[in-house]
């Protein structure tokens, strides 16, 4: 016995709609998930100005060295790039004639010393005979004059020997300070004269940085103004510096004055001639509202907007807010108009938001 089952068109339609109804019911049973965003708070704080500077690493000493006497170069102990210490011999000239002159002067000094000693001895013996009246007073006075003459001759000989030794020493060129040889302008066998540059020596210690600064900031920069610097294109490794000198004489062509900065700690990365960039932090004497730089969106039509998070019983939503910005410093932007203190602004996920769009606020990253 078979059982026949009949279905009406209404029943078929109902069965076909059942999956959609179930999906809608499931969606209504789940809480609304908004676009995930990260937020920060509008903060009131002292407003600062950050001045970007570009300058150069400088050496405290740089000298084009020359010999103190003329001569033939017989020994050159350094080359470009050589590191030397103060007092090291860098170059030697032919010393044969100067050595001979010094030896001759030294021998003359020995002769004068012996003559002075002999005359002094004879004078002492003659004075011992005076009480016995065994020697004429005129003979004693002659010996006294001879002793004085021999003493003068000895002094002259010693001076000539010292001069000859000085000339001999000047046949060696020594480093006046520690540093690196940056240029070599002579070679073995060349004849050099005083005043002719033969080597360039640059100190590599106690380096500093010089920056030209616009004259507009002359009255705002002080020795205690905070400053940080970067070397070359290494913008991620800023280090602290200290202002040591400001030269309040402006360059009439560039309308700038000189600012000199030294590293707070010794920086082994620094070499003379490197490019350097610095950031000066100047106080403005006023406070204002600020937001992180990432909260600001700039549009081609000139609008500057911030997405503000609004919370209510239905959750969190966002609204686009036009703002007027001021100075930028330390990763934050001054808000002149458009926001109030303690408002929450979107700093991540704000690229494609829409007004009144539901959002989910993610935890703050630390």
Q: DSSP letter string over 249-266?
A: EEETTTTEEEEEEEESS-
Is residue 29 over pLDDT 60?
no
CA-to-CA separations, 137 to 126, 144, 264, 332, in angstroms, rounded: 9, 11, 78, 102
Q: How many helices (H) and strands (E) in the chain?
A: 3, 22
Of 279, 341, 334, the closest CA to residue 47 belongs to 334
For 96-169, CATH gives 1.10.287
Half-sphere exposure of 123 (CA within 13 A, CB side): 16
Phi/psi-derived region of residue 264, left when phi > 0, alpha when psi is between -120 and 50, beta in every other case: alpha
- DSSP 8-state secondary structure symbol assigned to residue 288: E
How crowded is the C-beta side of 333, counted as CA atoms within 13 Å? 23
* CATH number, domain 50-60+204-285: 2.40.30.170
For residues 195-217, average pLDDT: 93
For the beta carbon of residue 166, count every other beta carbon within 10 angstroms: 13
The bridge status of strand 358-361 relative to strand 35-41 is: parallel
Contact predicate 160/108, CB 8 Å: yes
pLDDT of 331 strictly over 90 = no
pLDDT digits (tens, 9 = 90+) for 236-252: 788 999 999 988 877 77
Q: Is the pLDDT of residue 315 over 90?
A: no
Query: Is the pLDDT reported for residue 16 higher than 90?
Result: no
Percent of the chain residues past pLDDT 70, beyond the cut? 89
Q: What is the DSSP letter of 31?
A: P
The residue extents of the domains of the chain are 35-45+287-361, 50-60+204-285, 61-94+171-203, 96-169
Instruction: Band the pLDDT of 234: cuts 50, 70, 90.
Output: low
Contact (CB, 8 A) for 54 and 275: yes
User: Can 35-45+287-361 and 96-169 be said to share one CATH topology?
Assistant: no
Average pLDDT of every residue of the chain = 87
In sequence order, what DSSP letters do the residues of 268-280 get, joined into one string? TT--TT-EEEEEE
Residue 69 φ/ψ, nearest 5 degrees? -145, 160
Bridge pairing between strands 83-84 and 179-184: antiparallel
pLDDT score recorded for residue 249: 78
26 confidence band (pLDDT: 50, 70, 90):
very low
Asked if residue 258 has pLDDT above 70, the reply is yes
Torsion angle (degrees, nearest 10) of CA 48, 49, 54, 55: -60
Q: Which CATH code for domain 35-45+287-361? A: 2.40.420.20
Helix (H) or strand (E) segment spanning residue 145: helix 137-169
For helices 137-169 and 96-129, what crossing angle results, to 10°? 160
- Considering only the top CATH level, what class is 61-94+171-203? mainly beta
The span from the CA of 322 to the CA of 345, in Å, is: 12
């Amino acid at each position: 016995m078979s059982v026949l089952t009949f279905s009406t068109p209404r029943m078929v339609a109902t069965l076909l709609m059942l999956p959609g109804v179930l999906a809608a019911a499931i969606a209504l049973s789940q809480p609304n998930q908004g676009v995930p965003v990260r937020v920060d708070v509008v903060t009131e704080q002292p407003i600062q100005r950050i001045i970007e500077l570009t300058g150069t690493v400088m050496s405290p000493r740089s000298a084009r060295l020359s010999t103190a006497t003329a001569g033939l170069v017989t020994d050159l102990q350094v080359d470009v790039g050589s590191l030397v210490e103060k007092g090291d011999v860098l170059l030697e000239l032919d010393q044969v004639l100067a050595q001979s002159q010094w030896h001759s002067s030294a021998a003359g000094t020995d002769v004068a010393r012996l003559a002075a000693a002999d005359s002094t001895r004879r004078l002492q013996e003659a004075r011992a005979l005076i009480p016995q009246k065994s020697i004429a007073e005129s003979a004693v006075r002659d010996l006294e004059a001879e002793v004085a003459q021999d003493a003068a001759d000895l002094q002259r000989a010693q001076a000539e020997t010292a001069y000859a030794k000085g000339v001999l020493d000047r046949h060696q060129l020594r480093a006046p300070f520690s540093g690196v040889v940056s240029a070599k302008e002579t070679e073995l066998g060349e004849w050099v004269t005083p005043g002719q540059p033969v080597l360039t020596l640059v100190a590599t210690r106690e380096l500093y940085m010089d920056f030209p600064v616009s004259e507009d900031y002359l009255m705002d920069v002080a020795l205690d103004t905070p400053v940080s610097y970067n070397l070359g294109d290494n913008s991620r490794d800023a280090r602290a510096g200290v202002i040591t000198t400001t030269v309040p004489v402006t360059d009439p062509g560039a309308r700038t004055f000189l600012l000199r900065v030294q590293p707070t700690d010794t920086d082994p990365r620094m070499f003379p001639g490197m490019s350097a960039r610095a950031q000066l932090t100047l106080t403005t004497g006023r406070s204002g509202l600020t937001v992180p730089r990432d909260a600001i969106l700039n549009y081609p039509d000139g609008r500057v907007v911030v997405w503000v998070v609004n919370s209510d019983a239905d959750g969190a939503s966002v609204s686009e807010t036009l703002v007027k910005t001021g100075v930028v410093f330390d990763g934050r932007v001054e808000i002149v108009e458009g926001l109030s203190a303690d408002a929450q602004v979107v700093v991540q996920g704000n690229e494609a938001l829409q007004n009144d769009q539901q959002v989910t606020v993610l935890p703050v990253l630390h």
